[in-house]
Amino acid sequence: MNLRTKVFLIFSILATVPLLILTAFSYQRYVQSTYQRMDEFSSRLFENASEESNRTLESIRDISLAFNFYDKDGGSIVQTLKKYADRDNPPTSYEYLETSNTIGRTCQSLLLADSHIYGIYILTPSGYIFDYRNNINGTIRSDYSFEEEEWYQKTLELDGGYYVSTVDSHALFTGKERSVFFSQCLKDVYTHKMVGILLIDCNPEMFNLDTLNTMPDIILLTVDNMDTGDVLYTNYIEGIHDFSGRNEKNESTELSLKPLQLAMSVDYDTLFREFNVTGVLLILIGAVCIAGLIVISFFISGYLVKPIGHLSRKMASQTGHTLIQSTRYLNRTDEIGTLYNEYNAMVESLNMAVKQDYHDKLVILDAQMKSLEARINSHFLFNTLEAINSMAEIDENEQIATMSLALGNMFRYTLKTQSELVAVEDELKHVNDYVSIQQIRFDNRFQLVVSMTPEFRQLKVLKLILQPLVENALYHGLNYCTCGDAITLSGETDERCIYIDVRDNGRGMDEETLRKLQKSLNEEASFTELGHRNKQSIGLKNIHSRIELYYGRGYGLTVTSRQNEGTNVRIRLPNLRQNAAGDPET
C-alpha cells in the first residue's frame, strides 16, 4: 500500500468516523425524541377521547339524576312515580295525564339539551308508559311485552346500575333507526322499592370520536361493553387496521358509566414513518457530508503526498557514486520546500563525503599505528619499573622497591583492566598501592583503616572511584598529615544499593565551602568533547559525574563535614549481582 493510499484512508477515517458517530448519535437521539413525541401524541389523543366519551356519558347520568332531583315543592319525579308501583291499584287516567305533563316538562328540556337523545321512556310496574321523544325513532310499540325481554331482566338484576344495549334497530321501537339505549331501575330512596324502569334511547353517533382522531388509518379507537363484548363505536376498517405483526401500542380505560370502556391501538411503525421525515433527512445530510469528505480527502491526500512521491522516486533512481539533486518544489516555503532543500543539502554533503572517504581511510590507518605505538610505550614503562624494582631489591633498598612495585601495579590496573566494572577487592588493592607510596613519602604519619566484610569485597563497582577519594582525603582533609592521621574505608548494603564511606579525621570544611561543594555535585553531569577527558580527573565532581553518567541520576556522592571534625564522603551505587555467565545484573 503506497503512502497516498494510506494518507487517503487516514484522512477518510478521521473525517468520516466522527461524522458517522455524530450522525448515529443524532439519529438515535431523534428517534428517542420521536418515540417520546409519539407517546405524548397518542396519550394526549387517548386522554381527549376518554374525556369526550365521559362527557357524553355524563349527559345520560344527568338524566337519571334529574329524576331524583327534588324541586322547590319538595318532590321529585321518583316520588311522583311511587303511585305507579302498585299493579293492583293503578292511578286513574287523569292522574296519569297530570303526571305525564309534570314529567314531560323535565324530559322535553333534556331532549332539547342533547341532540343525540331520541327519546326518554319510563316503564312502570302498573303498566303505564311515559314516553317523550323527538319522533326520529318512533315510540315504544303498544304490543311489546318488555317484562319477558332479556334487557329488562338484566336491568332489574343490576339494581340501579345501567344496562347498555347493542347498536341495532331494536324491536321495541316503532322506528327503524339504529340506536343504543340505556336502562336503569328507578327506586324510592326511602323504601328502595322499584317505581319504574328509565329507558333512554340514543343516537349511536354520541360515541363518535372521528373529530378527535386525526389519523384514523393509524389509530384505532373503540368503545365497547366489557360485560357483553358489544362494540358501540369503532373506526375499524378491514385491511387497514390489521396491526398484527407490527409494533403497536395498546391502551384501555374504564369509562365513567360501567361497564363501558375505551380502547386504543396505535400502529407505531406507520406513525413513526409519519414523524420520521426529519430523521430520514438527517441521514441523507450525513451521507452527503461523508461522501463529500471522502472526495475532499482524496484530493488533499494527492496534494500532500505528490511532492513526497516525486522525491521518493528521485531517491530510488540514484545510482553510482555521484548523487543527483532535485530542482522541483524548491520555491515552497512550507515543510515540503524544507524537505527538498535539505535533501539537496544532504546530497551535496554526501558527494563531499565520498571525496573525503579516501582521506579518512588514511587517517584511520594512522590512528591504528599510533595505537600500536602507545601499547609499545606502555610495555616499555612496565618493563622499566620492573627493572627498577629488581635493582632496588639487589641493592636492598626496600622503599624504592616498594614504590616502583606499587607504581607499576597502579599503571597496570589503570591501563589494562578490560571492564569498567571491577570488584571492590580490586579497588582496595589499587588504594593500597597508592597508600604504600604515600606512607613512604610522609613517613607513615597516617594510616588507612578498611572495615569491609569478605562478601562486600566481591561486589561489583565502577572502576577508579576509591583511590581519587583517598587521595582527596589525604591532600585536603589531612592537609598532608598536618591536621589528622587516619582515613577509614567502610561499606554496607541493602537490597538495592551499595554504600561506601571514605572518612577522615582532618580539618573538615566550613558551611560555605560545604554548600558550594554540594551545589557543584548537584549540577547535571556532561561530557566536554569526544575523545577528551575532564582535567579534574581526581576531583569529587569528576567521580560524581562518572557515576551519574554510568548508573543514572540518583547515584553518586554525598558529602558531610564539620570544621575541625573531619569529612565523610558517601558513595551510593546500585547493588549488582553476577549472573550465571559472570555478567553483573541488577
Q: Of the given ranges (149-153, 395-399, 502-506), which has the lowest mean pLDDT?
A: 395-399
Say which amino acid occupies 383: N
- Output the pLDDT for position 339: 77
Domain boundary among 165, 198, 231: 198
Question: pLDDT at residue 30 above 60?
Answer: yes
566 assigned to some structural domain: yes
237 assigned to some structural domain: no
498 assigned to some structural domain: yes
CA distance 105 to 132: 10
How many structural domains are present in the chain?
A: 2
* One-character DSSP codes across 93-113: HHHHHHHHHHHHHHHHHHHHH
- Output the pLDDT for position 585: 55
Question: pLDDT at residue 72 above 70?
Answer: no
> What is the rounded average pLDDT of the residues 77-84?
80
144 assigned to some structural domain: yes
Residues 430-475 have pLDDT tens digits of 899 889 888 888 888 999 999 999 999 999 999 889 999 999 999 8
159 vs 156, 162, 499, CA distance in Å? 5, 9, 108
511 assigned to some structural domain: yes
CA atoms within 13 A on the CB side of 30: 17
- Output the pLDDT for position 375: 44
Domain boundary among 198, 220, 249: 198
Domain boundary among 179, 198, 217: 198
Check residues 304 and 420 and name the one with the higher pLDDT.
420
What is the CB neighbour count within 10 angstroms for residue 170?
21
Whole-number average pLDDT of the chain = 80
25 assigned to some structural domain: no
Return the beta strands (E) in 397-520 as ranges.
Answer: 421-423, 447-451, 460-462, 486-493, 497-504
Are 566 and 477 within 8 A, CB to CB?
yes
Residue 40: all three cell numbers together: 405524548
Q: What is the CATH number of the domain that holds 516?
A: 3.30.565.10
Q: 377521547: which residue's cell?
A: 49
Residue 262 parent element (H or E):
strand 260-267
Beta-strand relationship, 447-451 and 486-493: parallel
Q: What is the CATH number of the domain that holds 106?
A: 3.30.450.20
Residues 115-145 have pLDDT tens digits of 888 999 988 888 888 888 888 888 888 888 8
Exposure string for 358-369, b = 16+ CB within 10 A, e = fewer? eeeeeeeeeeee
Q: Of the given ranges (82-91, 203-212, 238-247, 509-518), which has the lowest mean pLDDT?
A: 238-247
Question: pLDDT at residue 558 above 70?
Answer: yes
406 assigned to some structural domain: no
Confidence of residue 376 (pLDDT cuts 50, 70, 90): very low
| Global pTM value | 0.48
- Cis amide bond preceding 216, omega within 30: no
Check residues 360 and 214 and name the one with the higher pLDDT.
214
272 assigned to some structural domain: no
Are 477 and 507 within 8 A, CB to CB?
yes
Residues 186-203 have pLDDT tens digits of 887 777 888 888 899 999
Residue 22: all three cell numbers together: 455524530
* One-character DSSP codes across 309-323: HHHHHHHHT--SSSP
- Output the pLDDT for position 314: 72
Query: What residues make up the domain containing 113?
Result: 69-198
Nearest 5 degrees, angle CA 199-CA 203-CA 205? 140
